[in-house]
Amino acid sequence: MDDFVSIWEIYGLKTDPFCTSPILVKGGLISPKSFMGREEEMKRLEKIFRSSGGSRAIVCGGQGVGKTTLVNVARLRALEKRFFTPYQEVKADADWGINDFIINTISAVYSSLISIKEPSKEIVDTINKIKPVFDLYESEDKSYSLSTPILGGGYGKTRTVNKPEINTNFLTNLFQEIVTSLTKAGFREVIIHYNNLDNFDEEEKKLKGLFNRIRDFIQTPYVHFVFVGSTTTSSIITSVARVSNIINDTPIKLEPLSLAEIKKIIHTRVELSAIEDMNYYDPVADKAIETLYGLHNGNIRAVLNSLSTAVREVTEEKPVLLTDKLLKSVLYEIAKKRFADKITKTMQEVLMEMLRQKESTNKTLAEKLGKRTQNISKYFGIMKENQCIYLLRSDGREKHYSVAEWIKWLLLNPEEE
Ligand SMILES: Nc1ncnc2c1ncn2[C@@H]1O[C@H](COP(=O)(O)OP(=O)(O)OP(=O)(O)O)[C@@H](O)[C@H]1O
Ligand SMILES: [Mg+2]
Strands 54-61 and 223-229: parallel
Q: How confident is the model at residue 140 (pLDDT cuts 50, 70, 90)?
A: low
With a cut of 50, say whether residue 255 has pLDDT above it. yes
Pick the ligand that lies closest to the CA of residue 298.
Answer: 1
* Residues 6+ away with beta carbon under 8 Å from 8: 14, 15, 16, 17, 273
- Residue nearest (by alpha carbon) to ligand 1 atom 23: 64
Q: Which distant-in-sequence residues (6+ apart) come within 8 Å of 366 by Cβ?
A: 372, 373, 376
Tell me the residue range of the domain where 396 lies. 342-403
CATH of the domain at 354: 1.10.10.10
Q: Tell which of 305, 338, 371 closes a domain.
A: 338
Do 347 and 396 sit in the same domain of this protein? yes
Q: Give residue 202's pLDDT band: very low, low, confident or very high (50, 70, 90).
A: confident
pLDDT band at 358 (very low <50, low <70, confident <90, very high): confident
Which ranges of 239-323 does DSSP label H, i.e. alpha helix? 241-244, 259-272, 286-295, 300-314
Rounded to an integer, the average pLDDT of 313-339 is 95
* pLDDT at residue 28, rounded to an integer: 85
Same domain, 177 and 54: yes
Q: Are residues 97 and 213 in the same domain?
A: yes
Boundary of a domain, candidates 229, 254, 279? 254
Q: Is the CB of 265 under 6 A from ligand 1?
A: yes
Which among 340, 324, 412 is positioned nearest to 383, based on CA atoms?
A: 340
Q: What is the pTM of this model?
A: 0.90
Residues 140 and 207 in one domain: yes
Establish if 214 belongs to a structural domain: yes
- Tell whether the model's pLDDT for residue 149 goes beyond 50: no
Q: What is the mean pLDDT of residues 76-89?
A: 96
Judge whether 29 lies within some domain: no
**What's the pLDDT at 379?**
93
The predicted model gives 131-160 an average pLDDT of 50
- Verify that 51 and 172 share a domain, yes or no: yes
Q: Are residues 153 and 51 in the same domain?
A: yes
The answer to whether residues 283 and 223 belong to one domain is no
- State how many domains the chain has: 3
Mark which of 208, 232, 254 sits at the end of a domain. 254
Residue 417 pLDDT level (bands cut at 50, 70, 90): low
Shared domain for 91 and 201, answered yes or no, is: yes
Lowest mean pLDDT among 26-40, 98-112, 145-159, 241-255: 145-159
What is the CA(305)–ligand 2 centre distance, in A? 15
Judge whether residue 285 has pLDDT over 80: yes
Within this chain, do residues 264 and 347 fall inside the same structural domain, yes or no? no
Distance 91 CA to ligand 2 centre (A): 10
Whether residues 154 and 63 share a domain: the answer is yes
Decide: 23 in ligand 1 pocket, CB within 6 A.
Answer: yes
pLDDT at residue 155 is higher than 80: no
Is 36 a pocket residue for ligand 1 (Cβ < 6 Å)? Answer: yes
- Would the pLDDT of 370 be above 70? yes
Task: Take atom 24 of ligand 1 and give the residue whose Cα is closest.
Answer: 64
Q: Say yes or no: CB of residue 303 within 6 Å of ligand 1.
A: no
Residue 42 phi, psi dihedral angles, 5° rounding:
-65, -45
* Mean pLDDT of the region 327-341: 95
Q: Pick the residue with more confidence: 154 or 13?
A: 13
Ligand nearest to the CA of 199: 1
The pLDDT of residue 3 is above 70: no
Q: Establish if 168 belongs to a structural domain.
A: yes
416 within some domain: no
Query: Which residues are within 8 A (CB) of 214 and not within 5 positions of it... i.e. 6 or more apart?
Result: 98, 101
Give the 3-state secondary structure percentages of the chain, helix then strand then coil, rounded to 5: 55, 10, 35
Same domain, 151 and 282: no
Q: Kindly state whether residue 281 falls inside one of the protein's structural domains.
A: yes
> What's residue 150's pLDDT?
36
Helices 204-214, 98-114: inter-axial angle, 10-degree rounding: 70
